[in-house]
Amino acid sequence: MNRIEKLLIANRGEIAIRIIRTCRKLGIKTVAIYTKPDSNAMHTKLADEVYFLGSDPYSYLDVDKIISIAKKSNASAIHPGYGFLSETSIFAKAVEDSGIVWIGPPSKVIELLESKSMVRAIAYKLNIPVVPGSLEPVDMAQAKRIAEEIGYPIFIKADRGGGGRGIRLVNSLEQLEKLFDIAVEEMKSSFRSNKVYVEKYIPYARHIELQILADIHGNIVALGERECSIQRRYQKVVEEAPSPIVTHEDRERLYEYAIKFMKHIGYVNAGTMEFLRDCNGNFYLIEVNKRIQVEHPVTEMVTGIDIVEQQIRIAEGRELEIKSNVYKFNGHAIEVRIYAEDFEKGMPSPGTVSYVEFPNIEGIRIDHMLEPGTFIPPFYDPMIAKVIAISSDRYGAITKLVEALKMFRIEGVKTSIPIALKILTSREFVEGNIHVEIYDKLVYT
């Protein structure tokens, strides 16, 4: 067993702080890294040791620098958080080769799953339903042929995309001919790969994902599902657990799919299987996330399981203490992401936070990076906090979350709190009649 004594967090913001919190509980010392824009960031004040990455805001992507700091600080492990290098096999392999413990799935598994068409092909081979479309990257001629077989509309998707980016909706052959080469060039620029695949568009789909834990001893458990159907431009905004639409029978079937897939590829650590549910109740695997998710707190709230702690224990070589899939949940939890953004302009709102007042309500958890004087840089994702509510039922969680957001004051930058309130108090959300296309209706009408 590789006992982790000191852990470097290859990230920033609220997820770095979240990881520090669990490390303190476990008696593990933490190492923070930062760039010049983050020189006064909260995560640098909470860690046991702090190292400067460099003036370049994007040094969080510098593999060599991060590993050099890990060695210099004598860190025994690296946790990548989410975003940045968290799903990059090159980084995972470099960490493994350095002799430092990597808190995540093995690099060879990450490399396999970096191709979303490969995920589809593996699932298809295992008789796990996937959205109709290609099982490998395609060129224009192949895209045309498949689109004719499955019918329009279709999506052109980046084979190595992520975070809701690298997706183009195509409604006709004429559009496909016009957009295909443009989409390929866009995705080459964004993801350093010009490979794309095509997938049938499913109208009014719901996004359902499963949280999985797997250890090196072959044990795999599912901790329940999350619903993430409130999305803006394919990026999640509100998440909840459990889903209001998933039945016990659905859950059993999804658990079977997920565990079969993860066992087949030799997955280890925390991971997420993402599915779409169509209007007829059919589920289709769309991708596998190879890291901790932004929305992991809702699962923690309804199960009482600290997922970061489980990641660390798995990386140490321990056997999972959770022996069976989770079917019983401690109520209902909902999370809303708070962004520093100017809604009217549709732009991020960087700047310095001048005042913060947090709601003090039982059953409310806030994962954040905020204090007076916090600088919100323009270089990174503008998410600055996550507010999570838990109650005995869904309506109670909504009510509690709305109350908390009304009490949450952030001054100095504009935030998305008014938009979150509009979504949470809409008739459609309260009744659970949601899907991945409903955001604009809830916000703009």
Residues 219, 269 share a domain: yes
Expressed as residue numbers, the domain containing 69 is 6-103
Domain stops at, among 179, 200, 221? 200
Q: Is residue 26 domain-shared with residue 164, that is, in the same domain?
A: no
Does residue 231 sit in the same domain as residue 380? yes
**What are the pLDDT digits (tens) for 304-350?**
999 999 999 999 999 999 999 999 999 999 999 999 999 878 899 99
Contact 94, 65 (CB under 8 A): no
**What ranges make up the beta strands (E) of 61-194?**
77-79, 101-102, 154-158, 167-170
Confidence of residue 357 (pLDDT cuts 50, 70, 90): very high
Task: State both tokens at 37.
Answer: 């824009």
Tell whether 321 and 397 lie within a shared domain.
yes
Looking at the fold, whether 142 and 10 belong to one and the same domain comes out as no
| Domain membership flag for residue 91 | yes
200-234: pLDDT as tens digits: 999 999 999 999 999 999 999 999 999 999 999 89
Query: Residue 194: how many CA atoms within 13 Å on its side-chain side?
Result: 7
Phi, psi of 77, deg, nearest 5: -155, 160
Q: Which residues are catalytic?
A: 291
The percent of residues in the chain predicted with pLDDT above 70, rounded, is 99
217, 319 contact by CB (below 8 A): yes
- 130 pLDDT higher than 90: yes
What are the tokens at 399?
């009510």
Same-domain check for residues 166 and 24: no
What mean pLDDT do residues 166-182 have?
Answer: 92
Give the SS3 label for residue 70: helix
Instruction: Tell me: do 63 and 152 sit in the same domain.
Output: no
As for how many domains the chain has, the answer is: 3
How far apart are the C-alpha atoms of 367 and 356, rounded to whole Å?
Answer: 14
**Whether residue 51 is found in the same domain as residue 144:** no
* H-assigned helices in 31-62: 42-46
Residues 259 and 369 in one domain: yes
Q: Which helix (H) or strand (E) holds 9?
A: strand 6-9
Give yes or no: residues 393 and 416 share one domain.
yes
pLDDT at residue 133 tops 70 = yes
